[in-house]
Chain A
């Protein structure tokens, strides 16, 4: 149980274009999903908390106009990287947890490797 699916698993795009990444909870509903980013040899850095039916909460230093998050249903959150640049190339991973408590583990999608050329 607690399967999180992410799509696409990898994407290559040209500088200046936008890329949308989908995150789905397959066997549970998630009012909250979390988007992380990981650069090579570094740890996971939380970008934003996606809230179903309301605005996302962004971590300090993350541009909300560049990283658009939409959480339109209890099983789907999307992250759109707008006007992507080479420095946005990274491994983007979403996560969620079943239930209403906030202390259980997060389950991660398989991640999306973005390469901006």
Chain B
């Protein structure tokens, strides 16, 4: 089982719709969760971080975390063509002997927002 799993997509939504991106993780004691956006040929840029159960909103973006289900999601409201990119879920695994702070990434979900 992969440590962080995402559906690779592509996920296609019409402009103005809500895009829902999902991610599951295997390490039950993980504490830190992040969503990054990556445009083709570019490096990832941070969209959201979430650390506790529930929802966290930032503009058109809402991150949702459910630690019991080991599930984190990202909602994008009023999707725009400029949101078309690959969205990467990242988890910070907890190692009892040493927490190096590394992030483990899912394979990413490609989002296509059609005008």
Hey, which bits of chain A sit against chain B, CB under 8 A? 32, 34, 36, 42-46, 49, 57, 93, 95, 97, 101-111, 113
Which DSSP category, helix, strand, loop or mixed, fits chain B's interface?
loop
Question: What is the distance, in angstroms, from B99's C-beta to the closest C-beta of chain A?
Answer: 5
Contact check, B92 vs A102: say whether CB atoms are below 8 A apart. Answer: yes
Asked if B72 is an interface residue, CB under 8 A from chain A, the answer is no
Cβ–Cβ < 8 Å partners of B90 in chain A: 106
Which B65-110 residues have a C-beta within 8 angstroms of A? 88, 90, 92, 99-108
Q: How many A-B residue pairs have CB under 8 A?
A: 55
Hey, which bits of chain B sit against chain A, CB under 8 A? 31-32, 34, 41-46, 49, 51, 88, 90, 92, 99-108
Cβ–Cβ < 8 Å partners of A57 in chain B: 100
The 7 closest A-B pairs by CB, nearest first: A102-B101, A111-B43, A43-B107, A103-B32, A108-B43, A44-B105, A43-B105
